[in-house]
Copies of this chain bind each other. A is one copy, B any other.
């Protein structure tokens, strides 16, 4: 057995405290799996006297994170502070000082990943981040390694537990968005300020990371078209039910010719799709590739212990690499694919319209779709008193053509209101 490898942990919140706990409780197993003991040498925190879920051994807590990563005897740094700064500076310092780094920081990777990848490459050290996407679910390693001999064509992910909980609640109880959000907040699934989750920012960061890995290209958060779920209504969810579908917030990464389309928005998917049965706050990532076909990875997408499991899995791999004086698989952006504008992305639309109930309405509406080159897959007509509702599902078309069609419908005399517009994914095109 080799001499111990020295580990520094940055941050001791819900993930960091579980990392520290597991480093202590599993020390014997970790040593056997790595081939050397892992010695915790410091835990950087903002306040020494904060309440914590773990007993950090005396003398290891410090408020000097920069001093900790600047130590020349630290082999491995775990960054679980989150956010852009000081996390970025600390990771860069750690790499420059010769440490390998494990991080769970999706926001930072999605905003400025290339800076970090280049620093790791230059330093000859590892930067691993399994915990950054979908918590405990192994998805980074499968994309980066298991599917390295295949061509991934599409990734559909439920990668935000808060929004999945809210949409699942709306589906199962008929509740509206506000009511479901309130329940999620009461149960601790949503923050007091839920913006990052419900407006899709969290999912967009993960989509950027997934697209980068799946398509061997650089995709950042600003490349991701993003729509949240705050405008999803009980009527949208009911309309999905009526067509045997369910509404999910999806992170969608697709290969289109040789470009990448990447977006986050609510979408209707058929109940027969494997993603449809992902309930409550669970996450799942559905991957389509040319040779492997359809794969799905399912599990808890957040939480202290699950995220810590992913961090420690990376830590074992990175520690073995340190012992062998080598690096694992680094960033692979060789394909250097362009990101398609949202307007050129192809998708399908579900549109519900209140129209005057008179002869020829269906023909007039169909003509509006045809003028924009959008083909209709199904249309359902429901009469009500003096007006009628049309529910149209299109075939695949560009988002720009579909959006223009909806705009056109809104301006038509016979259209009283476009009551629901939602994209449709996961079925036949």
Contacts and interface: CB of A to CB of B under 8 A. Distances in A.
A306 B293 contact: yes
Interface string A1-45: 000000000000000001000100010011011000000000000
Nearest to A137: B295
A25 to B, nearest CB: 9
Contacts of A290: 305
A405 interface: no
Interface residues of A, number: 56
A127 interface: no
Interface stretch (A81-89, A112-120, A142-150): A142-150
Contacts of A317: 145, 148, 329
Interface string A326-366: 11010010110000000000000000000000000000000
Contacts of A180: none
Given A274-B298, A295-B138, A329-B320, A313 B146 contact: yes
A249 B317 CA distance: 33
Contact of A148 (B306, B316, B324): B316
A177 interface: no
Given A292-B310, A310-B292, A329-B317, A335 B150 contact: no
Contacts of A295: 136-138, 297-299
A135 to B, nearest CB: 8
Nearest to A274: B298
A146 B150 contact: no
A195 interface: no
A68 interface: no
Contacts of A30: 149
A30 B332 CA distance: 12
Contact of A305 (B29, B130, B293, B306): B293
Given A32-B334, A334-B32, A141 B146 contact: yes
Given A33-B216, A274-B277, A332-B33, A149 B316 contact: yes
B149 A312 contact: yes
Contacts of A216: 29, 32-33
Contact of A32 (B18, B136, B291, B335): B335
Contact of A316 (B136, B145, B305, B334): B145
Contacts of A136: 291-293, 295
A300 interface: yes
What are the 5 tightest A-B residue pairs by CB atom distance, in nearest-first order?
A149-B312, A138-B146, A136-B292, A291-B309, A292-B309
Given A29-B151, A30-B149, A292-B305, 6 more contacts: A26-B149, A26-B151, A150-B312, A150-B313, A291-B312, A292-B300
Interface of A: 18, 22, 26, 29-30, 32-33, 130, 136-138, 141-142, 145-151, 216, 274, 277, 289-300, 303, 305-306, 308-317, 320, 324, 326-327, 329, 332, 334-335
